[in-house]
């Protein structure tokens, strides 16, 4: 029942009031797999949220981004849904002293590279980074890793610039494959940067299935470091 407010009330206030009402609201919610919570409590639903007009969608992957993006979300005049990945709650990282206010709608290049662009979100970010290191060490492939961070608004400039340098695109999504956020980005890149591509964009996703609770089965369906690295290697060397 709570989703009715997120989908049908908060995002429409400004539009239905002709700008007379604002809804400066942040909805923090935990989601994501990897912690053995089963089909009803392990879903990644960023793609559900990004289809709703008027709603901004953020999913941080580091402690610093949690602080900076949450501060930006609180200051935003529109409703923001702030996805916190359950399997990242124990993550530790450096956070500078003082006030940190980031900017919504900005992706971040975490690892520069020249052979391929790997886009990732939330839990898939550290896995994409590990896969990039594996590709470099074992196959000499230099992959650029981009933390998307914000799906709405989407930093298309950073994504397009990266694809323009590497000429190959891979998305790593924990969302089920059907209608995932990567499909939207692939569509944008194909439309606006087709001639920058040296090969078809590739989506590395979770299958379109309810997530299992058994640890071996959950691990089998989520994108892993090995699957990411092998998919990129096979695509580039085929």
Domains observed in the chain: 2-88 (3.40.50.970), 108-237 (3.40.50.920)
pLDDT of residue 238: 79
What's the confidence (pLDDT) of residue 11?
Answer: 95
What is the number of other CB atoms lying within 10 angstroms of the CB of residue 151? 23
Q: For residue 24, is pLDDT > 90?
A: yes
Greatest CA separation for the chain = 58
The answer to whether 57 and 46 have CB atoms below 8 angstroms apart is: yes
Starting at the edge strand found earlier in the chain, the sheet holding 202-206 runs 108-111, 143-147, 116-120, 169-176, 202-206
Cα of 11 vs its chain's centroid, Å: 21
Please tell me the pTM assigned to this model. Answer: 0.95
What is the predicted pLDDT for the residue at 140? 97
Task: Give per-residue pLDDT as tens, 96-109.
Answer: 999 999 999 999 99
Tokens representing 5 are: 């407010």
pLDDT attached to residue 119: 98
Q: How confident is the model at residue 200 (pLDDT cuts 50, 70, 90)?
A: very high
Give the pairing type, strands 143-147 and 108-111. antiparallel
pLDDT at 52: 96
The rounded mean pLDDT for the chain is 96
- Tokens representing residue 217 in the block: 């089965």
User: Residue 70: its pLDDT value, please?
Assistant: 98
Question: In this predicted structure, what is the pLDDT of residue 25?
Answer: 96
What's the distance, Cα to Cα, between the start and end of the chain in Å?
48
Q: For residues 113 and 121, what is the distance between their CA atoms, to the nearest angstrom?
A: 18
pLDDT in tens, 39-79: 999 999 999 999 999 999 999 999 999 999 999 999 999 99
* Interval 208-226 mean pLDDT: 94
pLDDT at 1: 79
In DSSP notation, 4-40 reads HIIIIIGGGHHHHTTTS-----EEEEEE-SSS---TT
Residue 224 has pLDDT above 90, yes or no: yes
Give the model confidence (pLDDT) of 148-185 as tens digits.
999 999 999 999 999 999 999 999 999 999 999 999 99
Between CA 152 and CA 51 the distance in angstroms is 9
Q: How many CB atoms lie within 10 A of CB 182?
A: 25
Q: How many residues does the chain have?
A: 238
CA-to-CA distance for 187 and 48, rounded, in angstroms?
Answer: 17
- Alpha-carbon distance 140 to 143, whole Å? 9
pLDDT for residue 126: 98
Q: What does the block give as tokens for 149?
A: 């961070």
* Residue 2 confidence (pLDDT): 86
């Amino acid at each position: 029942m709570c989703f009715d407010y997120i989908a049908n009330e908060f995002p429409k206030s400004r539009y239905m009031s002709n700008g007379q009402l604002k809804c400066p609201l942040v909805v923090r919610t935990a989601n994501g797999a990897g912690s053995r919570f089963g089909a009803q409590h392990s879903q990644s639903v960023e793609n559900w949220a990004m289809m709703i007009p008027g709603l901004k969608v953020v999913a941080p992957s580091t402690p610093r981004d949690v602080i900076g993006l949450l501060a930006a979300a609180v200051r935003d005049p529109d409703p923001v849904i702030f996805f916190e990945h359950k399997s990242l709650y124990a993550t530790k990282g450096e956070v500078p002293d003082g006030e940190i206010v980031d900017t919504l709608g900005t992706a971040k290049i975490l690892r520069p590279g020249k052979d391929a662009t790997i886009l990732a979100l939330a839990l898939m970010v550290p896995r994409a980074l590990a896969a990039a290191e594996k590709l470099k060490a074992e196959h000499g492939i230099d992959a650029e890793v981009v933390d998307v961070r914000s799906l709405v608004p989407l930093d298309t400039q950073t994504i397009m610039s990266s694809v323009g340098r590497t000429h190959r695109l891979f998305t790593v999504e924990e969302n089920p494959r059907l209608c995932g956020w990567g499909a939207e980005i692939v569509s944008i890149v194909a439309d606006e940067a087709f001639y920058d591509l040296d090969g078809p964009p590739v989506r590395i996703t979770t299958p379109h299935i309810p997530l299992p609770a058994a640890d071996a089965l959950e691990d089998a369906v989520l994108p892993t470091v090995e699957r990411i690295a092998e998919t990129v290697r096979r695509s580039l060397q085929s």
